[in-house]
Amino acid sequence: MSHVTGIYGHVTWQLRNEDGTVAAEGEGANLVTTTGDRMYAGRGAGIASPLAAPTGMKLGTGTTNPAKTGAGAALITYLSDSQQGFDSGYPSAAAQGSGWRVTYKVTYPTGKATTGSAITEAVIVNETLTDATSAAGSTIARILLSGVTAKGSTQTLTITWTHDLLGA
């Protein structure tokens, strides 16, 4: 008998202009880091002092490939003013097939996390949200984004992550 188990991540993002039209959008697989695995396992096992729950997201301009540990498990090049708590109602969890889907969503409003450079990375963190980079030890998941060439001051950026926790 074969069993398919694990945590599988997917991200969608959409950059909208002031009039609501879509300026850019994309999707891709995100990597749940070793810190993320530990957070899910500790909370699921009811460990007395599990890792802190995710608090929000941060953006960056780095291009290092995502990795379970090490440099690729951290935010590489922090984008100033990109710390943002989750939207109301998130995170959420719901039964999905043979497991559960956890959904995280952040909307960066106009005037927040603006840049003339491409936004190339995003992370979910479990730390107090400050205007600074994040280490691998507080990064739950990381993805490299493509297609977000810049975020102007009148644009909004919405990023939605799903983590599917699959069981047999």
pLDDT at 19: 97
Cα distance between residue 98 and residue 4, in whole Å: 10
User: What are the tens digits of pLDDT across the range 83-131?
Assistant: 999 999 999 999 988 788 999 999 999 999 999 889 999 999 999 999 9
pLDDT score, position 3: 54
The identity of residue 68, as a single letter, is K
Q: Across the strands, what pairs with 92?
A: 103
* Mean pLDDT of the residues in the chain: 90
Give backbone dihedrals phi and psi of 73, rounded to 5 degrees, phi first: -100, 10
Over 70: is that where the pLDDT of 168 sits? no
Residues linked to residue 124 through DSSP beta bridges, in sequence order:
57, 141
Residue 2, pLDDT > 90, answer: no
Determine the pLDDT at residue 96: 85
pLDDT at res. 138: 94
Is the preceding omega at residue 54 within 30 degrees of 0, hence cis?
no
Which secondary structure element, helix H or strand E, spans residue 43, and what is its range? helix 34-44
Contact at 8 Å (CB) between 151 and 114? Answer: yes
Report whether pLDDT(66) > 60.
yes
Q: Determine the 3-state secondary structure of 157 from DSSP.
A: strand
